[in-house]
Amino acid sequence: MTTLTLAKALNEGMRKAMEDDPKVLVMGEDVGKLGGVFRVTDGLQKDFGEQRVIDTPLAESGIIGTAIGLALRGYRPVCEIQFDGFVFPAADQIITQLAKMPLRSLGKLKLPVVVRIPCGGGIGAVEHHSESPEAYFTHTAGLRVVACSNPADGYTMIQQAIRCEDPVIFFEPKRRYWEKADVDTSAPADDWTPFDRARVVRPGADVTLLAYGPMVRTCLEAAAAAEEDGRSVEVVDLRSLNPLDIDLVAESVARTGRCAVVHEAPVFSGFGAEIAARLTERCFYNLEAPVLRVGGPSTPYPPSRLEDHYLPDLDRVLDAVDRLFAF
């Protein structure tokens, strides 16, 4: 076991992928000499050279378009979108080309492109730097969408994403970059949890909390607090948003009878709405209460001094737990 921050775990995962496959490239704004604004790619250009770790112009559409061309020539590009709010200029390439070209070619063309996106708030950033755009991409058929929440998953999931033959949108919770945990860097890949599978990170019997990315830790803290009131709360880290591991999720909710979905993004039309609908279909006769959603209000992300009022916290999650027991 090695103690790593999430940022370092992602760095080590990309390093291992680049060592294993010379076709793996890293590209993005300031990923080379600077090592990325969060230092996730620190040292990679020094060790692998400027031909494999490429500092690009500030042109997100160009980054993704170039990656598509490289993938068609047999490379495995790993693109960094510097901040979540910067992905929208690249949306045309992601939605109309990256997601559709494999089907357009009837499977003859593969696009093993990873698009890394630091996501979410909590770091006191300015406008366009604290977005949660996952629902845009889960709604886009042809993309895999995953979100790591801890260093161990960061290390394995980035490697699994790079090895995947499908395009992968890879969300990284930026306010968790500096949190540390033990990572087993020697475990064989066959022992890793598949990156399209959810995981129960805290067993419970009375309520299921579903979360991903930055909200997993918040839900774990809420579960620990609820235990003091005699409530047994299960926490499920979804990990993969598309495809969604609905079988594990439905099994948990059918067993506990109560569920809340927690994410930073606005509740209205957020990813939690899809989960709530699916669980209503699958678990209707097991539910003791409606599936609740906890998330941001339907407003643009606020200035940093107000973000603590915007982001779901322990109290808002516990309020949802109380409401679930009130039915």
pLDDT digits (tens, 9 = 90+) for 148-190: 999 999 999 999 999 999 999 999 999 999 999 999 999 999 9
Which amino acid makes up residue 32?
G
Give the closest residue to 7 by CA, choosing from 30, 47, 36, 39. Answer: 39
SS3 content of the chain, % helix, strand, coil (to 5): 40, 20, 40
Q: How confident is the model at residue 226 (pLDDT cuts 50, 70, 90)?
A: very high
pLDDT score for 47: 97
Domain with CATH 3.40.50.920 in the chain: 199-326
- Cα distance from N-terminal residue to C-terminal residue, the chain: 45
Residue whose structure tokens are 């539910």:
287
Which CATH number does the domain 199-326 belong to among 1.10.630.10, 3.40.50.920, 3.30.800.10, 3.50.50.60? Answer: 3.40.50.920
The whole-angstrom separation of Cα 262 and Cα 272 is: 7
Q: Please tell me the distance from the alpha carbon of residue 16 to that of residue 154, in angstroms, as a whole number.
A: 13
Average pLDDT over residues 92-117: 97
Helical (H) or strand (E) element with 69: helix 60-72
Task: Say what the pLDDT of residue 243 is.
Answer: 98
Residue 214 has what pLDDT? 97
Tokens of 235: 């926490």
**How far, rounded to the nearest angstrom, does the alpha carbon of residue 100 sit from its chain's CA centroid?**
21
What positions carry a catalytic annotation? 129
Cα atoms in the 13 Å half-sphere on the side-chain side of 140:
23
Residue-wise pLDDT for 293-318, tens only, equals: 999 999 999 999 999 999 999 999 99
Q: Give pLDDT, residue 149.
A: 98
**Which residues of the chain are in CATH 3.40.50.970 domains?**
2-191
Rg (CA), the chain: 19
| Cα angle 237, 243, 246; round to 5 | 60
- What is the reported pLDDT for 279? 98
Q: Does 3.30.70.890 match the CATH number of domain 2-191?
A: no
* Amino acid identity for residue 116 in this structure: R
- pLDDT band at residue 228 using 50, 70 and 90 as cut-offs: very high
Give residue 278's region: left, alpha or beta (phi > 0; psi -120 to 50): alpha
Q: How far apart are CA 151 and CA 201, in angstroms?
A: 14
> Which whole-number Å values give the CA distances from 73 to 69, 109, 166, in the listed order?
7, 10, 15
The confidence score (pLDDT) of residue 127 equals: 93
Q: What is the model's pLDDT at position 24?
A: 98
**pLDDT mean across residues, the chain:** 97
What's the CA gap between 199 and 234, in Å, rounded? 11
Q: How confident is the model at residue 105 (pLDDT cuts 50, 70, 90)?
A: very high
Three-class secondary structure of residue 170 per DSSP: strand
- 28: nearest Cα among 53, 65, 45, 47: 53
Token duo for residue 316: 């808002």
